[in-house]
A and B are shown apart, each in its own frame.
Chain A
Amino acid sequence: MPDLNAIRTEAKRLLAEGVVDVVVAFKAGETPLHPQPAFFRSADEVDQLVYDGLCQNNLATFLTRVPKQSKVGMVVRGCENRSVNALVVEKQKNRADLFLIGVPCEGILDWQKIVGEVGETVKSVKENGQNLMIETKAGYQLLERHDFLHESCKRCIHPNPMSADILIGEALQEGDPNLARTAVETFEDQTIEDRYAWFQKEAERCIRCYACRQACPMCYCEECFVDHIEPRWSESGATPAGMQGWHIVRAFHQTGRCTSCGACERACPMDIKMTYLTEKLNHDMREKYNFEPGLDAQTQPPFAAVTLDDKNRFSV
């Protein structure tokens, strides 16, 4: 875990020296399992800043929701840094207006897994290397950290922020790209009926709350396709066609843009699995175009970078 004091010192310096107008980070939430995103606008507020493995949101989401001219400081992990890069590519923010405080990420903890293991009376969670020390009403419990990681974090390839302005803590070892590949290939190896059955089972629990959309840094459209009245692109009720259509098109709009942070899945109140959809699209982008979203702040995603050279790529 990176040193919290070092993060606070840096955030204080940024605000005190006027480098940025606001620092986006986390503060303690109502329970120890839910730190919440917070905006720090002056140096004395920064003492409330926290950072631990339970910080679930992808903070890059807020980049498109602060005034466009404002200078923003942000505590970023690997996935958040990639999301910021992808947003800079799409001209949602000037990179010069950003100051990124990078922290290498050891993976986000899934609070639901923790609650499932120890019950709901969690008083505090201490992370110590590869262990978790959970204090509950009943007493202390020692858990293995890796078992409680979020699924998309287990498959993470780039835990280190690659273009942060300052890196706090030691850079970690890069993840294994094969894990993401095998996840997709295992799903593909099932029969088509099994795949559809799985998709149906997941998609049709949806209650159309759009928490996945709100949690996603790349979903920043002023008006989403499901909110259109005329023409109505897809059914907006919780009908089978509407629910399936939402899941298909939400995922497809992330092609070449999704940074696999898994914020959509963490936000879902119905515990619907959905990263398997975007993983497939990311997998295809890697295989077909050798492209990974967010690795730098210049390269356009494949769907935007169409040229006439493409004619050699396809058979007629």
Chain B
Amino acid sequence: MPEKPKIALFQCRWCLYAPADQEWVDTQLPENIHLTKTPCTGRINPLYVLNAVQGGADGVMISGCLPEQCHFKTGNMAARRQLEEFNDFLDYIGYDKQRVRFVWLDLQDRGIIQKQLAAFEQELDDLGPASNLVTRVKVAEGGQNA
């Protein structure tokens, strides 16, 4: 069986999801998805995304709140400006734009995170594994950050 695409999921701890969904994310997330919880999408430094990309993620999903629903008023706005530009920039130097996905989720929308992840995984499957910018030496090969 071919390996599933590796996804790094950055989750804002305020926006997500109906309790059942949050429980699913916390406890039943498939193994190919790596979850990082942040206090707000505004806290996601572009370096986090870059580290995920360099470390071999086939896709990065960033889930944040809808406009005007940010716990910190404008955190998601700031994150959008920065991260969307960062995505454009990565595309400019060779990391496919489709591999970074933003989802701005409504608290009321049950089950949406599963649907979004499944759709994203399907698209990444079609794209194949990422090769550009995946340059970090694996720890197993003796590369504990040079």
Contacts and interface: CB of A to CB of B under 8 A. Distances in A.
Given A277-B93, A310-B67, A311-B68, A284 B88 contact: yes
Interface string B86-119: 1011111111100000001000000000000000
B94 A308 contact: no
A119 interface: no
A240 B55 CA distance: 12
A235 B146 contact: yes
B51 interface: yes
Given A237-B146, A248-B89, A310-B81, A199 B94 contact: yes
Interface stretch (A144-152, A185-193, A212-220): A185-193
B145 A232 contact: yes
A162 to B, nearest CB: 26
Q: How large is the interface on A (under 10, 10 to 19, 20 to 34, 35 or more residues)?
A: 35 or more
Interface in A215-258: 225, 232-237, 239-242, 244-245, 248-249, 251-252, 255
Contacts of B54: 241, 244-245
A306 B94 contact: no
Contact of A196 (B73, B84, B93): B93
Given A235-B136, A241-B54, A281-B89, A308 B47 contact: no
Contacts of B77: 306-308, 310-311
B137 interface: yes
A68 interface: no
A197 B143 CA distance: 24
Given A232-B145, A236-B146, A306 B74 contact: yes
Interface in A158-202: 187-188, 192-193, 195-197, 199-200
Nearest to A195: B94
Given A241-B137, A244-B54, A244-B135, A192 B94 contact: yes
A60 to B, nearest CB: 24
B80 interface: yes
Interface residues of A, dominant DSSP? helix
B78 interface: yes
Interface residues on B, range: 35 or more
A280 B78 contact: no
A303 B68 contact: no
A175 to B, nearest CB: 23
Interface string B118-142: 0000000000000011011100000
Contacts of A245: 47, 50, 54
Contact of A307 (B74, B85, B89, B137): B74
B132 A233 contact: no
Interface in A255-308: 255, 277, 280-281, 284, 288, 302-303, 306-308
Contacts of B68: 308, 311
Interface string B51-70: 10010000000000011100
Contacts of B95: 196
B108 to A, nearest CB: 14
Contacts of B96: 192
Contact of A187 (B73, B92, B143): B92
Contacts of B133: 196, 244
A118 B107 CA distance: 68
A242 B62 CA distance: 24
Contacts of A240: 135
Interface string A37-69: 000000000000000000000000000000000
B36 interface: no
Given A193-B132, A249-B46, A281-B85, 18 more contacts: A193-B94, A195-B92, A233-B51, A235-B145, A239-B135, A241-B54, A242-B146, A244-B133, A249-B50, A252-B89, A277-B92, A284-B89, A303-B82, A306-B78, A308-B77, A310-B81, A311-B68, A316-B104
The 3 closest A-B pairs by CB, nearest first: A196-B94, A311-B67, A237-B146
6 contacts: A196-B132, A235-B146, A251-B89, A308-B77, A310-B80, A316-B66
